[in-house]
Amino acid sequence: MVLEQKSDILGALSSGLCLIHCVLTPFLFIAQSHSLGCCTATPGWWSTVDYLFLIISFFAIYKSTKATTKNWMKYALWMSWFALFFIIMNEHFGFVSLAEESIYLPSLSLVFLHIYNSKYCKCTNEEYCIRNLE
């Protein structure tokens, strides 16, 4: 399956697009408020993109952690994902007051962790991988 072989690429791409989405959001609202002059509410489709990125990144991390050779990488990927999950849920439900920029750290972490994992934490010996990943 493609996801099993390319989970880090998919995860880095998804996290990178999530980061771009987060960076562009303020500019979208500025442009929208200047062009319409009335509404600054988030469009419904724009908010659902957050959930799409969470779902894609969840499955990418799930597959990546099954194939990584480093235990610390598993924890780092999942901790970054849960931080991203919390921040996105917090933006939608307002549990605590956080700076808008707080979403950049877990997004960037996931991008870098997936890239690092794909370069340095993959099995090179098939027999070793099967024995140690089960």
Query: Tell me, what's the pLDDT at 134?
Result: 45
Query: Tell me, what's the pLDDT at 76?
Result: 95
* Secondary structure letter of residue 83 according to DSSP: H
Query: Tell me, what's the pLDDT at 2?
Result: 47
Domain count, the chain: 1
What's the one-letter identity of residue 124?
Answer: T
% of the chain beyond a pLDDT of 90? 17
- The most confident of 5-19, 53-67, 73-87, by mean pLDDT: 73-87
Query: Tell me, what's the pLDDT at 82?
Result: 96
Q: How far apart are CA 110 and CA 77, in angstroms?
A: 6
- Angle (CA) 66-68-72 rounded to 5° is 105
Parent domain of 9: 2-133
Question: In the block, which residue shows the tokens 């962790």?
Answer: 113
Helix (H, G, I), strand (E, B) or coil at 99: coil
* Secondary structure letter of residue 95 according to DSSP: S
pLDDT tier at 72, thresholds 50, 70, 90: very high
Q: How many CB atoms lie within 10 A of CB 119?
A: 9
**Separate counts of helices (H) and strands (E) for the chain:** 5, 0
Helix (H, G, I), strand (E, B) or coil at 104: helix
pLDDT digits 0-9 by tens, 83-133:
999 998 998 888 999 888 888 899 888 888 888 888 877 766 554 554 454
Helix (H, G, I), strand (E, B) or coil at 84: helix
Report the pLDDT averaged over residues 33-60.
70
% of the chain beyond a pLDDT of 70? 66
Query: Tell me, what's the pLDDT at 86?
Result: 95
Report the pLDDT averaged over residues 15-42.
60
Of residues 16 and 40, more confidence is placed in 16
